[in-house]
Chain A
């Protein structure tokens, strides 16, 4: 194929009730070159694949729900931190899911010769998939089934060597916990939305990939200069140094100060124990060394050892500190690291785990549940032993763990009383570590994120107040800002490079992203306006996916607590977002996106974005 950067192929694997050792059905398809300029790769091309492979009749845990590993043309090139995405129908939300991870696997998929790997069907017995260039085999996984992610990966690396990169799910994925994650290089997770449960439903414990092929780029001399430009951008950036020094936790203290740090199940926006779990404490007490993703110039991950060396992991990231620290009322960085390791070992998302456990703690303190229901656990906020116990119980679906294991939305339905009022989720996905009442635009970002309660498509709290004028406790300017932030990430998530690296460490703009595609793919005339339109196209394509699943305006909302109750503390104290302000933001947002007042993309929008044929007929 004429275009550089791409491997050029999609690998389709059908597990088709096969056993290890039996010949697998697999085939490759050339990438559709006409679509590449419209959807690039990663999230864009992956959304196109999912749109056609999993409609409303396909349930997330059905064999035919595809587990898609997506990369893009920038992945694995000597440019910046590479990522891959898992794209599938989410067991947590029943909607479009894209969940990203760093780690060496991102490049390895492409070195094996594939841009996307699409896995459908279900194995007859626990198995793992081995992909070495054109060799695609199903192997017996009975020896690693039931094992933690760490133990399973270690075993497979011993068997295949360190050049083989492993994606693995843990006991939670095997038990179909809808927020089970997948892990690679031990400490990298595609955490959100339940990719691990999709693997588990396929009886697939792991995917092992080793590749030997080249990735070609259009202009390596130009890339060399561009890397120097990135280093200059890094030096000038406001947060680059801090990001490397402290990693994502560097905002823990400021988040608490501006009142956006979820505390005790979003009852407060600041945490009195913040100094015991913030980035400085992390660095001083448990930090050992820095860790970077494939090709990253700004390694932001912290390798730590906690509890006197008994706990070791890369983390905890900001979200984990928020959701499994302040949000469960635990003010001990050693314990937060321990929770993080437990979640990683069992293979559950730290954000959703923290969300659902905090919810249960509030139910317990309010008397909606008692020790009889919690298997004797004293589920008060701050009880770290109970948190650790609950993580294991959730992953095993053991006792009360089984009540929480289906996520906070379903847990609230089961517990009842007034608990749905403080079940903190959007579209079934537990909210991450930014309290929207401290910055109303964050609420709009959560309500309009394709995969549900997610901060990774737009994070208004990342914008310093002196740089971009927006209304923290109102609606003015929020919709255009959220759209702009979402749009920036689309071509990055098509790349796939690390959005955080490009935004915070290099402070790149759309023109820089266009330049990357020019240098790698060879699209000489690609421009920022074209990429903005591409972003709008992909955002609307994923919206169409969700609309086809029944999503409408009524679903683009926030938990009642967030919408109607004031915060008791912080700068947002006493402020209520309310329906009026929220709806004003939402109306403006829909209008900017070219969607009708019910959140359905208008026919002329589909026409303008060249989506009419891809999407087909949308329901009314």
Chain B
């Protein structure tokens, strides 16, 4: 198994300030020179009235319901990373994977009709590096 097996991005909502820098750097990392939170694979769910900020991102679960839900097998276990990764050329934008995810962290880029899933940036997650609060950490699954 690869080095990323059983690793995921863990969020610590009590530390999150709701700045969404993670969304900005994620979209930029996966689409160089481009910022667009609606293309980010991590989203901060913000309830401003209570200052409740919950970063939400793929938990890299063992079961891979997204892989099973995809009718065209566009979500594959990456041979080196050992994680399910969306194959951009093959995703048809049917969104079957979105409700299939029990954690609600399969996002959808409506403009380009593409499923968005965290791939841990290949082992060096940009969001973790940039979070000023330490509210998202690169964790090992139990």
- A83-107 vs B, CB cutoff 8 Å, 1 = contact: the mask equals 0000000000000000000001001
Beta-carbon contact of B35 and A78 below 8 Å: yes
Task: Report 28 cross-chain contacts, Cβ distance below 8 Å, ordered by A residue.
Answer: A4-B33, A76-B35, A77-B24, A77-B35, A78-B21, A104-B20, A111-B36, A111-B38, A212-B38, A213-B111, A214-B36, A215-B34, A216-B34, A216-B35, A217-B33, A219-B33, A220-B32, A220-B33, A220-B34, A292-B18, A292-B132, A293-B19, A294-B19, A295-B20, A296-B21, A296-B132, A299-B18, A299-B19
| Chain B, Cβ-Cβ closest to A300 | B17
CA distance in complex: A327, B111 (Å)? 52
The answer to the question of B141 belonging to the interface, with a C-beta cut-off of 8 Å to chain A, is no
| Chain B interface size range | 20 to 34
| Chain B, Cβ-Cβ closest to A288 | B51
Beta-carbon contact of B34 and A185 below 8 Å: no
CA distance in complex: A218, B28 (Å)? 12
Which B17-51 residues have C-beta < 8 A from chain A?
17-21, 24-25, 28, 31-39, 45-46, 48-51
Residues of B in contact with A (beta carbons under 8 Å apart)? 14, 17-21, 24-25, 28, 31-39, 45-46, 48-51, 110-111, 130, 132-133
Q: Which residues of A contact B110 (CB under 8 A)?
A: 212
| Chain A, Cβ-Cβ closest to B51 | A303
The answer to the question of A11 belonging to the interface, with a C-beta cut-off of 8 Å to chain B, is no
| Chain B, Cβ-Cβ closest to A157 | B48
Q: Which residues of B contact A154 (CB under 8 A)?
A: 49
Q: From B19, B24, B37, name the one whose CB has the most chain A CB atoms within 10 angstroms.
A: B19
The answer to the question of A312 belonging to the interface, with a C-beta cut-off of 8 Å to chain B, is yes
Beta-carbon contact of B21 and A297 below 8 Å: yes
Q: Which residues of A contact B45 (CB under 8 A)?
A: 162
- In the complex, which of the residues B14, B36, B51, B133 contacts A215, with contact meaning CB atoms closer than 8 Å? B36
Which A283-342 residues have C-beta < 8 A from chain B?
288-299, 303, 312, 314
| Chain B, Cβ-Cβ closest to A210 | B38
Q: Which residues of A contact B46 (CB under 8 A)?
A: 104, 162
- A63-92 vs B, CB cutoff 8 Å, 1 = contact: the mask equals 000000000000011100100000000000
| Chain A, Cβ-Cβ closest to B33 | A220
CA distance in complex: A259, B133 (Å)? 35
Beta-carbon contact of A297 and B132 below 8 Å: yes
Q: Which 6 A-B pairs have the closest CB atoms?
A: A292-B19, A292-B17, A299-B17, A78-B24, A303-B51, A297-B132
Residues of A contacting B: mostly: loop
User: With A212-B38, A296-B132, A298-B132 in contact, do A289 and B14 touch (Cβ < 8 Å)?
Assistant: yes
The answer to the question of A6 belonging to the interface, with a C-beta cut-off of 8 Å to chain B, is no
Beta-carbon contact of A290 and B37 below 8 Å: no
The answer to the question of A545 belonging to the interface, with a C-beta cut-off of 8 Å to chain B, is no
User: With A111-B36, A220-B33 in contact, do A227 and B130 touch (Cβ < 8 Å)?
Assistant: yes
Q: From A111, A162, A291, name the one whose CB has the most chain B CB atoms within 10 angstroms.
A: A291
| Chain B, Cβ-Cβ closest to A150 | B49
Beta-carbon contact of A214 and B50 below 8 Å: no
Chain B proximity of A282: nearest CB distance (Å): 15
Beta-carbon contact of B24 and A289 below 8 Å: no
Q: Which residues of B contact A314 (CB under 8 A)?
A: 51
What number of residue pairs across chains A and B have CB atoms under 8 A from each other? 100
User: With A212-B111, A213-B36, A289-B14 in contact, do A295 and B21 touch (Cβ < 8 Å)?
Assistant: yes
Q: Which residues of B contact A288 (CB under 8 A)?
A: 51
Beta-carbon contact of B35 and A214 below 8 Å: yes
Q: Which residues of B contact A185 (CB under 8 A)?
A: 48
CA distance in complex: A71, B67 (Å)? 41
Chain A proximity of B109: nearest CB distance (Å): 9
Q: A162-B46, A291-B17 are in contact. List 6 more A-B contacts (CB 8 A).
A: A76-B24, A76-B35, A78-B21, A107-B37, A214-B36, A296-B19
Q: Which residues of A contact B38 (CB under 8 A)?
A: 111, 163, 212
| Chain B, Cβ-Cβ closest to A107 | B37
CA distance in complex: A312, B24 (Å)? 28
CA distance in complex: A299, B37 (Å)? 19
Q: Which residues of B contact A381 (CB under 8 A)?
A: none
Beta-carbon contact of A217 and B132 below 8 Å: no
CA distance in complex: A76, B38 (Å)? 12
- In the complex, which of the residues B18, B28, B48 contacts A78, with contact meaning CB atoms closer than 8 Å? B28
| Chain A, Cβ-Cβ closest to B24 | A78
CA distance in complex: A530, B130 (Å)? 31
The answer to the question of A446 belonging to the interface, with a C-beta cut-off of 8 Å to chain B, is no
CA distance in complex: A402, B2 (Å)? 71
Chain A proximity of B25: nearest CB distance (Å): 5
Chain A proximity of B40: nearest CB distance (Å): 10
- In the complex, which of the residues A77, A220, A289, A295 contacts B19, with contact meaning CB atoms closer than 8 Å? A295
Chain A proximity of B71: nearest CB distance (Å): 26
| Chain B, Cβ-Cβ closest to A290 | B17
The answer to the question of A250 belonging to the interface, with a C-beta cut-off of 8 Å to chain B, is no
Q: Which residues of B contact A187 (CB under 8 A)?
A: 48
The answer to the question of A186 belonging to the interface, with a C-beta cut-off of 8 Å to chain B, is yes
Q: Which residues of A contact B132 (CB under 8 A)?
A: 231, 292, 296-299
